[in-house]
Structure 1
Amino acid sequence: MEYIRITKENIDKEHICCAMSGQQSLAKKEWLKQRFAEGLVFYRSAERGKCFIEYIPAENAWVPIDAAGWLYINCLWVSGSLKGHGYSSDLLEECLRDAKAQGKNGVCILCAEGRKREFLADPKFLTHKGFKVSDISDCGINLMYLPLAESAQPPRFKDYAKHPKVEENGFVLYYTDQCPYTYYWVPKVQEAAKEHGIPFKAIHITEKETAQNVPAPVTTYALFRDGKFVTQSIQSDKKFLKLAAE
């Protein structure tokens, strides 16, 4: 498999794998464009499909972690017909090669405790590759890491990410444009909540500093209900209404 690195020079003409069409793709591409100067790297398969890795120096990651000197993997995603061919390993190896070249302490990534969850990495795959758990949040989302420097301090969640909570009642959603699915589904959920009289507040995160202070380990999509973290899984309007009825 050949891989393409997406850059500010070619992003307007290249497909970015996970993106839906139209405005969803444009929102994601604009988010990426603003991150390239901060060290973001995006590799995808030359074959069109969901097969890519996106990573960034952890100091610039849109997550509330303390991980100076590490690379943070925003997303490692291989699915559909491209699964089962070793492409995830290829992409991860490229990230590790880059981390070594930059003299980084290692790489880190979010996953769920014990099993694969939507929009998070597979902990079994990561464990197989030598990753270990460096920190655990109360909501079952782990920070895993693979060190390249033996003396490096493992990355950690900030306290408010490790113990996620908000003060408001009803549903509170924090989200970014890092994932194109939020651009599509958040307005639909907002409209569904309004139509059914469900208290719902959406907080669109548009700056790195704000993202690094979100009271949840995930910032792409963090949904709370009556103060408690509910899910990082991006909800459709139907899924949200089912959740609200529970």
Structure 2
Amino acid sequence: MEYIQITEQNIEREHICCAISSSNDIQVLSKKEWLKERFKDGLVFLKRKERGKCFIEYIPCENAWIPIVAKDYMYINCLWVAGSLKGHGYASELLNACILDSKEKHKKGICILSSSKKKPFLADPKFLKHKGFSVCDQSDNGIQLWHLSFQDEEDLPQFKECAKHPHIDEMGLVLYYTNQCPFNAKYVPVLEQISKEKEIPFKTIHITSKEQAQNVCTPITTYSLFYNGNYVTNEQMNDKRFLKLLLTLT
């Protein structure tokens, strides 16, 4: 399989896998603008040369948009192989490329978010375990931080205290999100409009900086929905999924 790395030089002409519609689509524009700002922080986006959802995105932990402490580790934002591309070993190839690159950059290991059971938009724990990863920390809502260390397992990655106990004081629906996930640019406004029409309290907190992301009250910054103070889900939703969820909450 042939892969290509997205850089500042080629990002305008390359597709970004997780959003492969028209280059003028709000999702594509949003994600590409987010990526452009991250390249200077050491972000790597490696993808299958042909169009399709097959890529890995990772960044040095000190620059990751997540509330963790992981000195000299690399953090994987996303490893995604979907559809007909699954089952060919591409995920292993992408992960191996990340491991090799991380070692060449003298990192102590890599880490990634998952859970005890497979959840949407999180790494598959079975795959991680098969690849030698193990859990190094867990938040109250079951979100786990997994690691693969290259050296002695000292000073393992861990969540910051603010993320270990996901809970907020605000009532109603509160959504924390970033532009790391392209789906948010399209669907967050849709959810806001639905909530307005149904007169349901709905507040969005758009995380727009690394510093803000590293100090939020949830281990998942790309998308974390709370209701009456309690964490609900990290699953990005379209209008139909959101309406279905509302029936269970209100």
- DSSP 3-state at the match of 2:41: coil
Quote how far apart the aligned CAs of 1:135 are. 0.4
| 3-state SS of 1:43 partner | strand
Alpha-carbon deviation of 1:151? 4.5
Matched with 1:52 is 55
Query: Which position in structure 1 is the counterpart of 2:90?
Result: 87
In 1, Cα distance between the equivalents of 2:128 and 2:212?
A: 28
Provide the secondary structure at the position in 1 that maps to 2:5. strand
The whole-number CA distance in structure 2 between the counterparts of 1:102 and 1:150 is: 17
Distance 1:87 1:24, change over 3 A: same
**Cα deviations across residues 24-81 of structure 1 (Å, max 9, x unaligned)?**
1011000000000000000000121000000000000000000111000000000101
Partner of 1:5: 5
Distance 1:153 1:50 in 2: 34
**Matched residues in 2 for 1:100 and 1:49: separation?**
28
TM-score normalised by length of structure 1: 0.98
Mapped contact 1:20–1:180 kept (Cα < 8 A): no
Task: State the SS of the aligned residue for 1:126.
Answer: helix
Residue equivalent to 2:19: 19
AA partner of residue 245 (structure 2): L
- Is 1:141–2:143 an aligned residue pair? yes
SS of 2:129's partner is helix
Looking at structure 2, the residues matched to 237 and 165 of structure 1 have their Cα atoms a distance apart, in angstroms, of 25
Identity of aligned residues (%): 59
Structure 1 Cα separation of the partners of residues 244 and 49 of structure 2: 38
Kindly state the Cα deviation for residue 172 of structure 1 after the two structures are TM-superposed. Answer: 0.4
The corresponding residue for 2:188 is: 186
Aligned length: 245
Alignment counterpart, residue 174 of structure 1, candidates 160, 173, 176: 176
Amino acid at match of 1:213: N
Q: Is the CA contact 2:20–2:51 (under 8 Å) kept in the aligned structure 1?
A: no
Q: For residues 94 and 245 of structure 2, what CA distance do their matches in structure 1 show?
A: 35
TM normalised by structure 2 equals: 0.96
Name the structure 1 match of 2:216.
Answer: 214
Matched, 1:38 2:73: no
